[in-house]
Each structure stands twice: as structure tokens, then as C-alpha cells.
């Protein structure tokens, strides 16, 4: 996917999840079917949007995803504290990427992949 396609899908996902696009004047780029037209959005504006806390909460959700790992000694499942990721963790991770827009692509539904 191109950066514009990733951004388009990411913004549409956040809007579906309740993100208020009006704060960023993005609503002007969203049609009546919640389809985002990003051709006029500057890259700097895109970065301001994707690093916004309200966008991140809508895109990834407010809670933390708890993961489990198997204890090597007893075999029981235990909470993996290192694997618990919330929107704040994703923002911290995304800021380390050379191209943060590409980080978002990992969390978008892929057509034909069963998601």
C-alpha cells in the first residue's frame, strides 16, 4: 500500500471508532460514506494527526491488549507484562520508525486475508 492508502484507511478506521475528525479539519476530506480523500493532506498534517492522542485512542483502542506466555518451569499460562500494548505504547513504538505511516499499516485489515 502507498502512504496515502495507509493514511486513508487509518483515518477511516479511527473515524469508524469514534475519532472526531473535525478537530483537524479532516471532516472536509470525508464524504457521506465516511470515505477519506487524502490527496490534499500535507505530510506534516498527516504526522500531526497520527501522533494525536485522540486519534491513537480511536485507532488502537483505549485499553491494553493483554498477552500470555507459557511458564517454562510449570507450563501454566501467565500474563506477559511485556506483551501488553495500549495506544500509548503504540505511539512510543511508532515514533521510532523512520516512516511512522508504515507502522500503521500493520494494524489495518488486509483484503482477502480473512480479517
Residue 114 confidence class, pLDDT cut points 50, 70, 90: very low
| Residue 77 CB burial class (10 angstroms; 0-12, 13-18, ≥19) | exposed
What span, in angstroms and rounded, lies between the C-alpha atoms of 49 and 30? 15
Give pTM, 2 decimals. 0.70
Reduced to 3 states, what is the DSSP secondary structure of residue 19?
A: coil
Residue ranges covered by each domain of the chain: 3-105
Lowest-pLDDT range of 14-23, 34-43, 94-103: 34-43
Written as nine digits, the cell of 9 is 484507511
Encode pLDDT of 24-71 as tens digits. 666 556 666 766 666 666 777 888 889 999 999 999 988 766 566 677
Which pLDDT belongs to residue 82? Answer: 53
**Mean pLDDT, the chain, whole residue set:** 78
Amino acid at each position: 500500500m502507498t502512504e496515502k492508502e495507509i493514511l486513508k484507511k487509518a483515518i477511516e478506521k479511527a473515524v469508524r471508532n469514534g475519532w472526531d475528525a473535525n478537530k483537524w479539519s479532516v471532516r472536509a476530506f470525508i464524504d457521506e460514506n465516511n470515505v477519506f480523500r487524502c490527496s490534499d493532506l500535507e505530510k506534516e498534517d498527516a504526522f500531526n494527526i497520527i501522533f494525536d492522542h485522540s486519534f491513537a485512542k480511536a485507532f488502537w483502542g483505549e485499553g491494553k491488549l493483554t498477552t500470555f506466555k507459557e511458564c517454562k518451569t510449570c507450563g501454566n499460562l501467565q500474563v506477559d507484562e511485556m506483551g501488553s500494548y495500549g495506544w500509548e505504547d503504540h505511539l512510543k513504538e511508532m515514533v521510532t520508525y523512520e516512516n511512522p505511516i508504515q507502522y500503521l499499516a500493520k494494524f489495518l485489515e488486509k483484503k482477502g486475508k480473512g480479517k
